[in-house]
Copies of this chain bind each other. A is one copy, B any other.
Amino acid sequence: MTDKSPVLETTSEAIALATSLIRSAHHGVIATLEPETGRPLATRVGLATDADGAPTILVSALAAHTPALRADPRCSLLVGEPGRGDPLAHPRLTLHCDAREIERGSSEEARIAGRYLAHNPKAALYSGLGDFRYFRLEPVRASLNAGFGRAYALAGTDVLG
């Protein structure tokens, strides 16, 4: 490790913080690739988790991130909300994922929808609309910023289970 590489060794506390940030989140910001331009696109999504801790999202085909994820499943998700004081002093997690669309009417969708609506009851207002679909975000790797000078690089498997 050099002065230019401020990443700390992964600890069980860092993994516990990362999984807690994911499991407690009701929304996050997803970065996708805009198909027409290749530009990065930041949009808000509603969030829950599948049984193994992978994030799940419920998105409309009319929202920009949905065609983006269908064209290129690579995305990253930021979770962890600032509280009082400097917003950069609060923990947040960037989770790199590959998105996978869940088939309508599948048993996998039933499981994911049940968990999603238990976590976000108000989403029942639109979850059944024809243009809404669930995606599972398969974690690839993650970067945890636990506050100034406290950065950790995690494996995708660190945040599952």
Q: Does chain B have a CB within 8 A of A76?
A: yes
Taking the complex as formed, is A13 at the interface, i.e. its CB lies under 8 A from any CB of chain B?
no
Name A31's contact: one of B31, B92, B122 (CB within 8 Å). B31
Cβ B43 vs Cβ A78 within 8 A: yes
With a cutoff of 8 Å between Cβ atoms, the chain B residues found around residue A76 in the complex are 39-42
Number of copies of chain A assembled together = 2
Chain B residues within an 8 Å CB radius of A148? 126
B40 lies within 8 A of A40 (CB): yes
Please name all residues of chain B whose beta carbon is closer than 8 Å to the beta carbon of A27 when the two chains form the complex: 82, 87-88
A residues contacting the other copy or chain, number (CB 8 A) = 42
- Set of chain B residues within 8 Å of A74, measured between Cβ atoms: 39-40
Map CB proximity to B onto A111-135 as digits: 1 under 8 Å, 0 otherwise. Answer: 0000000001011011000000000
A49 CB–B CB distance under 8 Å: no
**A40 x B32 contact (CB < 8 A):** yes
- Are the CB atoms of A78 and B40 closer together than 8 Å? no
Across-interface contacts of A89 in B (CB, < 8 A): 122
Given A26-B87, A39-B76, 20 more pairs with CB closer than 8 A: A27-B88, A29-B31, A31-B32, A31-B40, A31-B42, A39-B74, A40-B41, A41-B76, A41-B94, A41-B96, A42-B76, A42-B77, A44-B78, A44-B82, A46-B86, A46-B88, A62-B151, A85-B122, A89-B122, A126-B148
